[in-house]
Amino acid sequence: MTSGTITIKRADLKDLDLIVAVNNLAWGSGLESTKEDFIERFKVFPEGEIGAYLNDKLVGIISSLIIQSDSPEDVPSSWAEVSDNGRIRNSHNPNGNSLVCFSVGVGLEARGMNLGRSLVNAQADLARRLGLKKVYAYSRPSSYMYFKNKFYANLSDEGFLVQIPIEKYLTLGKDGQPRKTGESLFDLAIGMHDSNGAHIARIIPRGRLEDKDSYGYNVLLEYPLE
């Protein structure tokens, strides 16, 4: 594993090229964000752009915005809607009461070093500073298709989704069996949030159809904010 000095702090638009590169390598083909997307995010809600730095080089980036929400049910039901297609201009409400982390990505060379969790925790700190009531992660079951190929390669996608529906998948541990007490979930993204103290508030079918790895599903998690 890589070692070095880790810093979590407000991201800087001067690192735009690196921000886009780190984000897009983490998210992969079909789920990229553009320079213009990030420029808009920095314009609309600069506090919500937080970076993870390893030896002063950006290796992770998280984006958030504010909405008005009294329950998970009133969070928009697609990534495009919640994030205004990644540009946040029409979905960010500066007078709202809830922070939504809608994108986090960490470079492969820095995975498993707690950076994802630290980035989310920095967003929770921001929410407290702003006096907000809730912190959501609008996330994705990023390893769902990988799980299928590992354990159910003989099934069609349709057959797999019937045999292991998303609700069941999100209870399984690293060996593909129901997880034991204290064990992490199989899924990398939802597992990161789960092991960081979030609970799954809503499963959103067809939340982002272009997300093939997740079979189009999104998952809304809520963090306790005491």
Ligand X SMILES: CC(C)(COP(=O)(O)OP(=O)(O)OC[C@H]1O[C@@H](n2cnc3c(N)ncnc32)[C@H](O)[C@@H]1OP(=O)(O)O)[C@@H](O)C(=O)NCCC(=O)NCCS
Judged by CB under 6 A, which of 4, 30, 112, 197 binds ligand X?
Answer: 112
Q: What is the closest distance, in whole angstroms, from the C-beta atom of residue 30 to ligand X in the complex? A: 12
CA nearest 71: which of 27, 8, 134? 134
Binding residue for ligand X (CB under 6 A) from 39, 77, 85, 117?
Answer: 117
Residue selected from 16, 188, 203, 209 as contacting ligand X according to rule CB under 6 A: 188
Q: How many residues does the chain have?
A: 226
**Helix (H) or strand (E) segment spanning residue 166:** helix 166-169
- Shortest CB 117 distance to ligand X, Å: 4
Residue 64 found at the interface with ligand X (CB under 6 A): no
- For position 53 contacting ligand X by CB under 6 A, the verdict is no
81 close to 147: Cβ distance less than 8 angstroms: no
Q: Establish if 200 lies at the interface with ligand X (CB under 6 A).
A: no
123-142 binders of ligand X (CB under 6 A): 139-140, 142
Judged by CB under 6 A, the stretch of 42-50, 103-111, 147-155, 162-170 that binds ligand X is 103-111
Alpha carbon distance 182, 200 (integer Å): 16
Q: Which residues bind ligand X (CB under 6 A)?
A: 26-27, 103-106, 111-117, 139-140, 142, 184, 188-189, 191-192, 195
